[in-house]
Amino acid sequence: MSWTDLAVNGRILIVDDAMENVQVLYQALRDEQEVLFALDGPTAIEIARQQLPDLILLDAVMPGMDGYAVCAALRATPEVQDIPIIFVTALSQPEDETRALEAGAVDFISKPFNVAVVRARVRTQLTVKRQADAMRELTLTDALTGVANRRHFNDTLELEWRRCARSGMPLSAIMIDIDHFKRYNDAYGHQAGDQCLQKVAVAMKRCASRPQDLLARYGGEEFILLLPQEGLAGATAVARRILDEVDALALPHEASPTSSVVSVSMGIATLQPGEASEPEALIRNADEQLYRAKLHGRNRYSVASAGEPPARHSA
Q: Mind listing the pLDDT tens digit for each residue in 151-180? A: 999 999 999 998 899 889 999 999 999 999
Instruction: Express each pLDDT in 102-124 by its tens digit.
Output: 888 999 988 888 889 899 999 99
- More confident of the two residues 216 and 315: 216
Question: With pLDDT > 90 as the criterion, what percentage of the chain qualifies?
Answer: 71
For 294-305, what is the mean pLDDT?
88
User: What is the pLDDT confidence band of residue 314, given thresholds at 50, 70 and 90?
Assistant: very low
Instruction: Record the pTM.
Output: 0.66
Three-point CA angle 204, 144, 201, nearest 5°: 5
Q: Are 109 and 118 in contact (CB under 8 A)?
A: yes
The yes-or-no verdict on residue 6 having pLDDT over 90 is: no
The yes-or-no verdict on residue 48 having pLDDT over 80 is: yes
| 308 part of the active site | no
User: What is the pLDDT confidence band of residue 89, given thresholds at 50, 70 and 90?
Assistant: confident
Q: Which of 192, 193, 216 is nearest to 204 (CA)?
A: 216
Q: Give every CB contact of residue 186 below 8 A, 6+ residues apart in sequence.
A: 255
User: What is the reported pLDDT for 3?
Assistant: 34
User: What is the pLDDT confidence band of residue 132, given thresholds at 50, 70 and 90?
Assistant: confident
User: What is the reported pLDDT for 312?
Assistant: 38
How far is CA 107 from its chain centroid?
A: 27
Question: With pLDDT > 70 as the criterion, what percentage of the chain qualifies?
Answer: 93
Instruction: Express each pLDDT in 180-222 by its tens digit.
Output: 999 999 999 999 999 999 999 999 999 988 889 999 999 999 9
Strand partners, 169: none
User: What is the pLDDT confidence band of residue 138, given thresholds at 50, 70 and 90?
Assistant: confident
Q: Which domains does the chain have, with CATH numbers?
A: 3-139 (3.40.50.2300), 150-314 (3.30.70.270)
Catalytic residue from among 34, 46, 79, 221:
221
User: What is the reported pLDDT for 288?
Assistant: 95
For 138-151, what is the mean pLDDT?
92
User: What is the reported pLDDT for 8?
Assistant: 56
